Amino acid sequence: MLLTITTTATPATDLGYLLHKHPDKAQSFEQSFGTAHVFYPEATDERCTAALMLEVDPRSLLRSRTSVNSPDFALAQYVNDRPFATSSLFTVALGRVFGSALKGRCNTRPELARTPIPLTLALPAVPCRGGADRARSLFEPLGWRVAAEPVPLDPGLPGWGDSHYLSLTLTGTMPLSEALSHLYVLLPAMDGAKHYWVDESEVDKLLRAGGATGGDGDDGPGWLASHPERGWITRRYLNRRDRYVRTALARLAEADDRTGDEEADDPATEDTAAAPAREERGPSLAEQRAGAVLAVLSAERATSVIDLGCGSGKLLERLVEDRALERITGVDVSTVSLERAHRALCRGCHPDGRGRHRPLFAGADGAREGSGDRLSRPELLVGSVVYRDARFSGHDAAVLMEVVEHLDPSRLSAMEESVFGAAQPRVVVVTTPNAEYNRHYEGLPEGAFRHDDHRFEWTRAEFTAWAEGVAERNGYAVRFLPVGPEHPETGAPTQMGVFTR
Ligand code: SAH
């Protein structure tokens, strides 16, 4: 089994630094299951190719009795694809031989490791049951151009058709460590037949390689957390072991959250071992929450909405579809989140620059443009809910979706004053986690919060007491609604208060 990595960066031989392997040398590394060789078929300043070739000794696989998923016929122990397919064995070798490159370490040239470079990765025999379409759905969202040719079962006998192996060529520009991490996770996921037993440590490996464990000064959620196929990838990588899959998906949702969004899903509502994976279970909790907020706004016949702490704009994206709304505004303290919101809303931009949003970061005193095209919404503002702000006024409804728990408790009264006291929208919708429900979250230690940035999480009694106080002090009435699956003892995962004046 073989992988070639080609770059045309200048000088291309920098690839040697990145891989920690000198282009002039051929090197071999003994593995328990065979030998990995690294060599450079070409190495000029213009173009450099490194090859990783793994020779598997099938007898070593038998000796170590590692073939857990061996197909159900006896000979399969001896006759199988492991010696030539680019499978989970290959990724083990990749992790060992190119470990530093995978982690993005390059002591001599640290800036080089972070630099995106033009890359072509070629893999002649990748086992992939879903064929070329599956390979594209996995690699294209990560920025690769994908060429995937099915390998015929027997080139001499075309009537036999294709095997489930692909000859895969990926072309793209990115840091080498990122490219290797994509292979490290996606090759075993495509293969779906791990040669070793999957245990808890595999969850950590997956999240680390998927960039979802933070660190490295990178505050993004990592590529796996934001991958549209993250459910499928996680399930396959972890050999469909439900317990680990649920833990990993919950941690990925948290990673996505840490960058500003409340997508924390609830992995434990169905705690049977056979619980279907997330994507088969209907809408996520975040989607249900947004749906519940929209339903309330519609029932209250809101004519304009300000989304306070809008994050990356999940609710705004839904609000812009509502033609009944005359004005939509998103506010957040985080410019990173607002940029994400801007990009999300920008997808529908007209080529002539008219889009579904106003120019980013309209100033505090900036004159609002005439609405012209009704789609030129919403307005995105940098601001804080704990300061009185004239721009918050003039909206019929305000939403604080999963925001109050991010405020220091000592600042809650300042938020109350700026929203309920000064801006005074007719309707205010507040959602926040129900702490009582946390015990259903597998892997969440007792007393811990669902998200690193939460300053507190309230029980239903605590939320009710706070909300009734706010309502009374500011001349509102408040009613409460559960969001998400309700448990007879703990209630629903999200609690919602609807304040009306
Ligand atoms: N409402 C969004 C995001 C919730 S995450 C959703 O439900 O998907 C909490 C958001 O509140 C983050 O985007 C954070 O930047 C924002 N936030 C925290 N403190 C804030 C403050 N004082 N003023 C405005 N936004 C704040």
Over residues 139-165, the pLDDT tens digits come to 998 999 999 988 776 667 667 667 778
Q: How far is the CA of 464 from the centre of ligand 1 (A)?
A: 21
Query: What's 45-85 look like in SS3?
Result: CCCEEEEEEEEECHHHHHHCCCCCCCCCCHHHHCCCCCCCC
Write down which residue in 181, 197, 213 finishes a domain: 197
Write out pLDDT tens, residues 165-211.
899 999 999 999 999 999 999 998 888 766 556 777 888 889 888 88
Residue 332 falls within a domain, yes or no? yes
Write out pLDDT tens, residues 217-244.
444 678 998 888 888 899 888 877 777 8
Q: Which of 333, 399, 415 to mutate to test the pocket of ligand 1 (most atoms within 8 A of CB)?
A: 333
* Residue 474 beta carbon below 6 angstroms from any ligand 1 atom: no
Interval 309-332 mean pLDDT? 92
Q: How far is the CA of 258 from the centre of ligand 1 (A)?
A: 11
* Residue 173 beta carbon below 6 angstroms from any ligand 1 atom: no
pLDDT at 236: 87
Measure the CA–CA gap between 416 and 386, rounded to whole angstroms: 8
pLDDT at 370: 38
* Residue 151 beta carbon below 6 angstroms from any ligand 1 atom: no
**CA-nearest residue, atom 15 of ligand 1:** 334
Q: How far is the CA of 482 from the centre of ligand 1 (A)?
A: 21
Question: Is the same domain home to 193 and 289?
Answer: no
Q: How far is the CA of 385 from the centre of ligand 1 (A)?
A: 9
pLDDT at 83: 54
Tell me the average pLDDT of the chain. 81
**CA-nearest residue, atom 23 of ligand 1:** 384
Look up the domain containing 69 and give its range. 2-197
Q: How far is the CA of 68 from the centre of ligand 1 (A)?
A: 46
Which of the pair, 355 or 483, is modelled with greater confidence?
483
pLDDT at 364: 39
185-189, 190-194, 258-262, 318-322: least confidently modelled range? 258-262
Measure the CA–CA gap between 277 and 274, rounded to whole angstroms: 9
* Residue 51 beta carbon below 6 angstroms from any ligand 1 atom: no
Burial class from Cβ neighbours inside 10 Å (0-12, 13-18, 19+) for residue 299 reads exposed
Residue 349 falls within a domain, yes or no? yes
Q: What is the CATH number of the domain that holds 70?
A: 3.30.1610.20
* Residue 310 beta carbon below 6 angstroms from any ligand 1 atom: yes
Write down which residue in 197, 215, 233 finishes a domain: 197
Question: Is the same domain home to 310 and 189?
Answer: no
Residue 225 falls within a domain, yes or no? no
Residue 266 falls within a domain, yes or no? no
Q: Provide the residue count of the chain.
A: 501
Interval 111-115 mean pLDDT? 88
Write out pLDDT tens, residues 273-305.
233 333 334 578 888 999 999 999 999 999 999
Characterise 44 by phi-psi region: left (phi > 0), alpha (psi -120 to 50), beta (else).
Answer: beta
Q: Which atom of ligand 1 is nearest to the CA of 314?
A: 8
CB-CB contact of 185 with 164 (8 Å)? no
* Residue 208 beta carbon below 6 angstroms from any ligand 1 atom: no
Residue 261 falls within a domain, yes or no? no
Question: Is the same domain home to 62 and 168?
Answer: yes
pLDDT at 375: 42
State the pLDDT confidence band at 448, using cuts at 50, 70 and 90.
Answer: confident
> Taking 60 as the threshold, does the pLDDT of residue 70 lie above it?
no
CB-CB contact of 86 with 123 (8 Å)? yes
pLDDT at 329: 95
pLDDT-above-70 percentage for the chain: 77
* Residue 386 beta carbon below 6 angstroms from any ligand 1 atom: yes
* Residue 333 beta carbon below 6 angstroms from any ligand 1 atom: yes
Interval 247-260 mean pLDDT? 69
Residue 105 falls within a domain, yes or no? yes
Number of compact structural domains in the chain: 2
Which of the pair, 269 or 173, is modelled with greater confidence?
173
pLDDT at 60: 62
Question: Is the same domain home to 184 and 296?
Answer: no
Q: How far is the CA of 356 from the centre of ligand 1 (A)?
A: 21
Which of the pair, 347 or 125, is modelled with greater confidence?
125
Question: Is the same domain home to 321 and 175?
Answer: no
pLDDT-above-90 percentage for the chain: 45
> Taking 60 as the threshold, does the pLDDT of residue 76 lie above it?
no
Residue 204 falls within a domain, yes or no? no
Interval 77-106 mean pLDDT? 75
* Residue 356 beta carbon below 6 angstroms from any ligand 1 atom: no
Reading the block at residue 270, the tokens are 């169905």
Q: What is the CATH number of the domain that holds 302?
A: 3.40.50.150
> Taking 80 as the threshold, does the pLDDT of residue 85 lie above it?
no
Measure the CA–CA gap between 39 and 244, rounded to whole angstroms: 37
